[in-house]
Amino acid sequence: MYIVIAPDSFKECLSATLVAEAISSGIKRIVPEAEMISIPLADGGEGTVEALVAVTNGKIIPTSSVDALNRPVESFYGILGYGKTAVIEMAAASGLELLAPNERNPLITTTYGTGLLLKAALEAGFTRIILGIGGSATNDGGAGMAQALGFKLLDKNNNPIGLGGSSLGKLHTIDRSNVHPLLQSVKITVACDVSNPLLGASGATRVYGPQKGATPEMLETLEANMSHFARILHKEFGNDISYIPGAGAAGGLGAGLMVFCQAEIVSGFELISKLTHLEDQISKASLVFTAEGKIDSQTAFGKTIIGVAKLAKKHSVPVIALAGIVCDDLTELYGQGITSVFAIGDQPMSLEESKSRAAEMLAATSERVMRIISIFE
């Protein structure tokens, strides 16, 4: 039996690599002779660097940066195994998980730290960079990132505006005279699996602002400031990015990367699955395990495990999906290639306990699934 284990991470709990290890240990209890390959996945958020470095035998480079509140933080970027491409995840600097719940405020959070990671990769000589932009704590349109790379964002008095979404409304002009000279020679590919535009009801602020700490009053300010920011970018660069799909990703960082860095936005899952040769491995498998922290009716709309399921369906390979939380009608998931879904919880417990026991419960659930499957082998 050849089994592919291709999970996403359990947010704020386990990396995709640790999820894969837990599933593998449970399988081995019942089918120790099974041949398995673990392919940890990510959609551009937390774990993207780890997943790509692991599968390409690359390495992690520790790098100093700042968090979304502009405080010093020890961060990192990765080098893919063939040595020519750097991979960065914004969550490692400007991520929501680096802030305590009471610190989350998109009026003041900034992507400056992500810009510092880009700057470090540029100065290390990389001319190709993959940047995953999931898990952000920010709503600044990538302004902080641009400031870190040398763009001067100036108010009507020719003074630099501050950091964060509250400052965007002050922007009057952009001075490009001190932009990092290596920026023009790099190709930046953005891994992103959301299609939200920058503005509007389905835009960066309205959809994702509340989970980053925005109150209803903040949302009005942030949307007005982002609209102003988009108008200035249009005037300065000639690019109207207000309603381009993906521009609203990561609090508008998608838009900022397109304008300031001429970056290309691509599907995070498609990029990572190609680099990991996921389909080739699935085509040879007799069974696939995938997993993520929560599976619900929204999972059908572009989540990592649905990407896995669609590849498996193409090759008629059954897929077992595990999750910490399972809810809603999952009929749509079954139509897209998921064979069965299992919640790993084995008794009522708090969220904190479920996080602390996640690896243990993943292994136990994988064992139970394999006990059933082994009857028919």
Per-residue pLDDT of the chain (377 residues; tens, 9 = 90+): 999 999 998 877 888 889 999 999 999 999 999 999 999 888 777 888 988 898 888 999 999 999 999 999 999 999 998 889 999 999 999 999 899 999 999 999 999 999 999 999 999 999 999 999 988 999 999 999 999 999 999 999 999 999 999 999 999 999 999 999 999 999 999 998 788 999 999 999 999 999 999 999 999 999 999 999 999 999 999 989 999 999 999 999 999 999 999 999 998 888 888 888 999 999 999 999 999 988 887 676 667 889 999 999 999 999 999 999 898 888 888 989 999 999 998 788 888 888 889 999 999 999 999 999 988 77
Cβ atoms of 131 and 160 within 8 Å: the answer is no
Candidates 194, 373, 183; CA nearest to 289 is 373
Residues 58 and 33 in one domain: no
- The pLDDT assigned to 87 comes to 96
Residues 172 and 201 in one domain: yes
What is the extent of the structural domain holding 361? 2-41+276-375
- The pLDDT assigned to 45 comes to 79
Residues 91 and 23 in one domain: no
Residues 36 and 59 in one domain: no
Residues 93 and 224 in one domain: yes
- The pLDDT assigned to 16 comes to 87
Residue showing tokens 């990389």 = 126
Query: In this structure, which amino acid lies at residue 225?
Result: N
Examine the fold and report which residue of 269, 290, 319 is the final residue of a domain before the chain moves on. 269
Residues 342 and 194 in one domain: no
- The pLDDT assigned to 359 comes to 95
Residues 37 and 123 in one domain: no
Count structural domains, the chain: 2
Residues 147 and 250 in one domain: yes
- The pLDDT assigned to 295 comes to 87
Residues 210 and 147 in one domain: yes
Q: Provide the token pair at 46.
A: 């937390």
CATH number, domain with residue 285: 3.40.50.10350
Examine the fold and report which residue of 269, 294, 320 is the final residue of a domain before the chain moves on. 269
CATH number, domain with residue 254: 3.90.1510.10
How far is Cα 115 from Cα 94, in angstroms, rounded to an integer? 9
Examine the fold and report which residue of 215, 241, 269 is the final residue of a domain before the chain moves on. 269
Residues 265 and 337 in one domain: no
Strands (E), the chain: 2-5, 35-38, 59-66, 72-79, 85-89, 128-132, 152-154, 173-175, 187-192, 264-267, 287-295, 319-326, 340-343
- The pLDDT assigned to 239 comes to 87
Give the side-chain half-sphere CA count within 13 A for 99.
27
Residues 192 and 263 in one domain: yes
Q: Provide the token pair at 102.
A: 């009471």
In terms of C-beta density within 10 A (0-12 exposed, 13-18 middle, 19 or more buried), how is residue 273 classed?
buried
Beta-bridge partner residues of 45: none
- The pLDDT assigned to 263 comes to 96
- The pLDDT assigned to 294 comes to 86
Q: Provide the token pair at 144.
A: 């902080």
Task: Give the global pTM.
Answer: 0.86
Beta-bridge partner residues of 320: 289, 340
**Residue 57: C-alpha distances to residues 51, 82, 182, 276, 301 (Å):** 10, 8, 27, 11, 31
How far is Cα 78 from Cα 203, in angstroms, rounded to an integer? 30
Residues 86 and 193 in one domain: yes
- The pLDDT assigned to 302 comes to 63
- The pLDDT assigned to 107 comes to 97
Q: Which residues does 71 contact at the CB level (< 8 Å), separation at least 6?
A: none
Cβ atoms of 191 and 130 within 8 Å: the answer is yes
